[in-house]
Amino acid sequence: MTGDASAFERIGRRGELRVSSLRADGTHSRFVPIWSVMVDGRLFVRSYMGTEGRWYRGAMARRAGRVSSGPDTIDVAFAPAPADLADRIDGAYREKYAGSAYLAPMLSADARASALELTARDA
């Protein structure tokens, strides 16, 4: 696992990342590709399916998992995104994914309700 700040930022700047949640038995679920955005150097993700999304439910069950993009893989903690950043997170999605047919669902009330902040954690 790489865990330095530059690896975390590289992951956040890429088009998408892969997320895996920690299971009760200590193993990780399969990786699922998702979009991510950075706001003030902080990494955020949302579930396309809102709070009913499978990866989201897994992430919230243990609040721990792993993200990967390119050569970088980092163990992360998941926490609900601060509500006061919802509009700025929307703006980051609009800017990063402008023109995508999948953008509108990522800005829906359901997706906004699933916003998570990811922070690096020790393995």
Q: Which CATH homologous superfamily contains domain 5-120?
A: Electron Transport, Fmn-binding Protein; Chain A (2.30.110.10)
pLDDT of 7 reads: 78
Q: Which residues of the chain have pLDDT under 50?
A: 1-2
Model's pTM, two decimal places?
0.92
Long-range CB pairs of 109-114 (<8 Å, 24+ gap) are 110/49, 110/50, 110/51, 110/52, 111/46, 111/47, 111/48, 111/50, 112/46, 112/86, 113/50, 113/51, 114/46, 114/47, 114/49, 114/50, 114/51, 114/53, 114/56
pLDDT of 4 reads: 63
pLDDT of 78 reads: 97
Domain parsing of the chain, residue ranges: 5-120
